[in-house]
Amino acid sequence: MFSYDELQKYNETDIRIYKYIASNFEKIQYMTIRELAEELQVSTSTILRFCNKNEFTGYGEFKEALKKELLLRKTIPPSEDLQELSDFFERANSNAFEEKLSVAVQMLRNADMTIFIGMGSSGTLEKYGARYFSNLGHFAVGLEDALYPIDFFQWKNTVVLAISESGETSRLMEAIHQFKQKNCKILSITNSSFSTLAKLSDWNFSYHLKPQRINGGYNGTTQVPVLFVMEALAKRI
């Protein structure tokens, strides 16, 4: 029901409504527009604007589409994690996704050097990204150490691809600020387009999946979209 084209138009309130709907498909089909608005603490007109933004004439038509979607899902009900990824790839299978990637691809093609940077779990992913880029003929290096002495080097025509699920890691933000001072182009892959890293970037791809924190706060959010986007970029350079 929600394509990448539509998600590109969302503001912060739209994202909150979308996340609630995605997690409460069964519940919403029995809710009035007023009940949904009260649950989300927004006005009914906000819900109507959300429906219109997704090309539905009103809340009634939106609920009918919701019922059809539920019938399709019940035919072969996928597990929760598969459904989340299925929704992501459905959004990615669009012209808007390709247009989004094309901006980053052009920047990467024009760069003399590409640096991947990330910390923790994202540090493991940036190493993979750098190696995958290199495997496909576009030399790149991975930088897991956000305290690397960036100031001592001249970074000419360099693109930095930063990976962070939260987009709020303080040490990573410090490194990004240093790279920006060296006139490096900053690309980023994050979970939220409203994160600090996303806002600091010249280009950002946000996959908008439900964050998962386990075992005392460790990141358990699936990183499949990150791998997919990195590989997609590498194949298009």
Per-residue pLDDT tens digits for 106-123:
999 999 999 999 988 898
pLDDT at 164 over 80: yes
pLDDT at 184 over 80: yes
Cross-sheet strand order for the sheet of 113-118: 140-143, 113-118, 158-163, 185-190, 203-206
Instruction: Please state the rounded mean pLDDT for residues 185-201.
Output: 94
Instruction: Please state the rounded mean pLDDT for residues 159-171.
Output: 93
Give the per-residue pLDDT at 136. 95
Q: Identify which has the larger pLDDT, 155 or 135.
A: 135
pLDDT at 211 over 80: no
Give the per-residue pLDDT at 48. 93
pLDDT at 101 over 90: yes
pLDDT at 186 over 70: yes
Give the per-residue pLDDT at 87. 82
The b/e string for 117-141 (b: 16+ C-beta within 10 A; e otherwise) is bbbbbbbebbbbbbebbeeeebebe
Residue 194 makes CB contacts below 8 A (sequence gap 6+) with 12, 15
Give the per-residue pLDDT at 77. 54
Give the per-residue pLDDT at 91. 82
Total-model pTM: 0.68
pLDDT at 183 over 80: yes
Instruction: Please state the rounded mean pLDDT for residues 137-161.
Output: 81
Q: Are 39 and 30 in contact (CB under 8 A)?
A: no
pLDDT at 78 over 70: no
pLDDT at 84 over 90: no
pLDDT at 32 over 90: yes
